Amino acid sequence: MMLIYKDDKSNGKYRDNNASGFTLIELLVVIIMIGILGAIALPAFLSQAAKARQSEAKSFVGAINRAQQAYMMERLEFADSVERLDLVRNKKSQYYSYSFVVTQTQGSVVAIPLVEDTGKTYTGAATLYQNKALVKTIICESPQQGSEIQKVPEWDATNSALFCPDPMNNITN
C-alpha cells in the first residue's frame, strides 16, 4: 500500500510503509555502542603496546649481559659498546637509548625510554666476583613508566650479590 503525503517539507513524495532500513535513533544507538567499546578497548591496546616496547628493552639488556659474560671470558675485560660485543648490526631502537658503564670488574648497560612516560627504565650488569673467576648478572626495572633512573646495579661484597639501585626492582629470572 502506497501512501501519498504532502506537507511543506515532503514536496509530495511517496513513502512505502513496507520499506526496510534503520531509523536515525537506531543508527545513533549503534554508533554510541561502538564508541563505548572503543573507549574500553583503546587503553587496553595502548598498554599492550607499551609492554611490547618494554619487552624489547628487557630482552636487549639480557642479551647484552650474556654477551658481556662471553666477552669477559674471551678478552678479560668488559666491552664498552654494542659494536665491540658484535651483538647486533643495528643498535638503533625507536623506543629506547642504550648506554654502557664499564669498570674493571663490571659491565653495565642502561636502557632509557626515548619518549617520556612511554616505558620503564631498565639496567643490567655483569660483574666479576670470587677473585675474578665467576661472572654474576642482574636486570633491574624501574617501578613506574617515565622514570629516567640512570644508576647501575652495585656489588655487595659481604653477601656476594648484585643489587638494584633504589627504587628499581630485580627482575632477573
Q: Is the pTM of this model over 0.95?
A: no
- Following DSSP, what letter does each residue of 31-57 receive, concatenated? HHHHHHHHHHHHHHHHHHHHHHHHHHH
Q: How many helices (H) and strands (E) does the chain have?
A: 2, 9
pLDDT classification of 108: cutoffs 50, 70, 90 = very high
User: What are the boundaries of each domain within the chain?
Assistant: 57-170
- pLDDT, residue 21, reads 81
pLDDT at 29 over 90: yes
